[in-house]
Amino acid sequence: MKLFTVGPVACYPQVLEAMGRQMVSHRSKEYKTLHTETVEMLQQFLGTNNEVFLFTSTGTGFMEASIRNCVNKKMLCCICGSFGKRYAEVATANGKQVETLEVPLGEPIMPDLLDKKLSKSKDVEAVSITHNETSMGLINPLKQLAEVVKSHGKMLFVDAVSSMGGTEIAVDKWGLDVCFSSSQKCFGVPPGLGMGSVSPDALKKSETAKDKGWYFDFKVWEKHQKKQGTPMTSVIPQIAGLNTIIKMIDANGGKKWFLSLYAERNRRIREGVRKLGLTMFPKSGYESPTVNCINSPDGIDGVTVYEQMREKGFELAKGYGTVQNFTFRIGNMGYIESSDIDSMLDALEVVLDELQLKS
Ligand SMILES: Cc1ncc(COP(=O)(O)O)c(C=O)c1O
């Protein structure tokens, strides 16, 4: 099966090979070297001097950590799809008051709207933004949104789960306090590792946070980072996989090369589906660089397109949540050969012809 999923995605063979190596202790010299090297490469990739932690959890663990360490009472969650909504749910479940800024599905969060909201909501301590809303295949204008958040002096949490490694993120320049992702997305590593950057302001806030627990306490992680390790057993195979893919990226021309590879795949898929007469779900200009969310043709269920593509050997992704029946998604993350894009688009043409004949 060829994967055009939205995560977990297919992994490069070199990543899988690195993950299959014999274990070392997470307190060994070998691990310390792997840990420090991976953290430093990720810092460079993200343009940051902030601490970068490697959590033994998926990205949602980092989401919860941002809230527990950096919000005492109240935060604002920007919602343009399912994962923005999840931030609000996690904050509520952790006993925080939540304000929301919600836009209609398919629309991005616009800076002027956020500016207005923050002018009225003076008491929120932090703002969460989903950089790339995987459920809608939509990217938000993060750099401009960050400017707004900083102009109001608020802390900024960025869910970059499906954008880190797939599009530009400049953590220090843009002033992102907590910015996290999951291994199983753009870097094409199996699930289980949540990686993210944490600013000095976020660490400061954590010093006085009440009821923040222990497992995701940023201050505990900071202490262990100084000893080139993690508080608990680290997810060594995934870290070895991440180390390998970043080295592969560097060997091939670095971040610029990797981001342009993804942009090119994304463009080819989008052009291909347009040639088949299909339209994109998100507002024009805000289509995701890693996940194309496509309107299924009139009268054809998106889930049926997904299922028929599986019959042809291609795993796409179903539409998510409330748009499931009239969209389907094609991811362009992870290990995808250039020729697979052509064969996937050929198969999609056949599937759509067959379904249109039946309808
Ligand atoms: C934008 C976004 N945020 C959060 C998550 C949750 O990530 P995880 O399953 O790694 O916790 C996902 C997963 O698809 C996502 O796409």
- The 10s digit of each residue's pLDDT in 274-293 is 999 999 999 999 999 999 99
Q: Does 67 lie in the same domain as 182?
A: yes
Q: Does 81 lie in the same domain as 122?
A: yes
- Indicate which atom in ligand 1 lies nearest the CA of residue 131: 1
Of 6, 55, 60, 63, the one to substitute when testing ligand 1's pocket (max ligand atoms within 8 A of C-beta) is 60
Find the CATH number of the domain harbouring 204: 3.40.640.10
pLDDT level of residue 192 (50, 70, 90 thresholds): very high
pLDDT at 358: 77
Residue 1 in domain = no
Find the CATH number of the domain harbouring 281: 3.90.1150.10
Whether the pLDDT of residue 359 is over 80: the answer is no
Other CB atoms within a 10 A radius of the CB of residue 300 amount to: 19
What distances in angstroms separate CA 213 from CA 140, 208, 217, 264, 277, one per listed residue?
31, 12, 6, 43, 52
Mean residue pLDDT of the chain comes to 97
pLDDT at 321: 86
Instruction: Give the total number of structural domains in the chain.
Output: 2
Mean pLDDT, rounded, for 141-170: 98
Percentage of the chain exceeding pLDDT 90: 97
Any alpha helices (H) in 190-282, and if so which ranges? Answer: 200-208, 218-226, 236-251, 254-275
- Indicate which atom in ligand 1 lies nearest the CA of residue 7: 14
Q: Does 103 lie in the same domain as 225?
A: yes
Mean pLDDT, rounded, for 58-70: 98
What distances in angstroms separate CA 20 from CA 27, 29, 202, one per listed residue?
19, 19, 35
Q: Does 309 lie in the same domain as 246?
A: no
Please give all residues whose beta carbon lies within 6 A of any atom in ligand 1, as ranges.
7, 58-60, 83, 130, 134, 159, 161-162, 182
Residue 5 in domain = no
Of 162, 193, 320, the one to substitute when testing ligand 1's pocket (max ligand atoms within 8 A of C-beta) is 162
Last residue of one domain, picked from the residues 250, 274, 306: 250
Q: Does 45 lie in the same domain as 192?
A: yes
Whether the pLDDT of residue 308 is over 80: the answer is yes
Whether the pLDDT of residue 11 is over 80: the answer is yes
- Cα-to-centroid distance, 159 and ligand 1 (Å): 8
Contacts of 116 (CB under 8 A, 6+ apart): none
- Decide: helix, strand or coil at residue 37: helix
- Cα-to-centroid distance, 261 and ligand 1 (Å): 22
pLDDT at 143: 98
Tell me which residue has its CA closest to atom 2 in ligand 1: 161
Mean pLDDT, rounded, for 170-198: 98
pLDDT level of residue 29 (50, 70, 90 thresholds): very high
pLDDT at 98: 98
pLDDT at 249: 98
Percentage of the chain exceeding pLDDT 70: 100
Of 9, 79, 161, 235, the one to substitute when testing ligand 1's pocket (max ligand atoms within 8 A of C-beta) is 161
Q: What is the pLDDT of residues 92-117, one digit of tens each?
A: 999 999 999 999 999 999 999 999 99
Domain that holds residue 197: 14-250
- Indicate which atom in ligand 1 lies nearest the CA of residue 163: 1
At position 1, the amino acid (one-letter code) is M
pLDDT at 356: 87
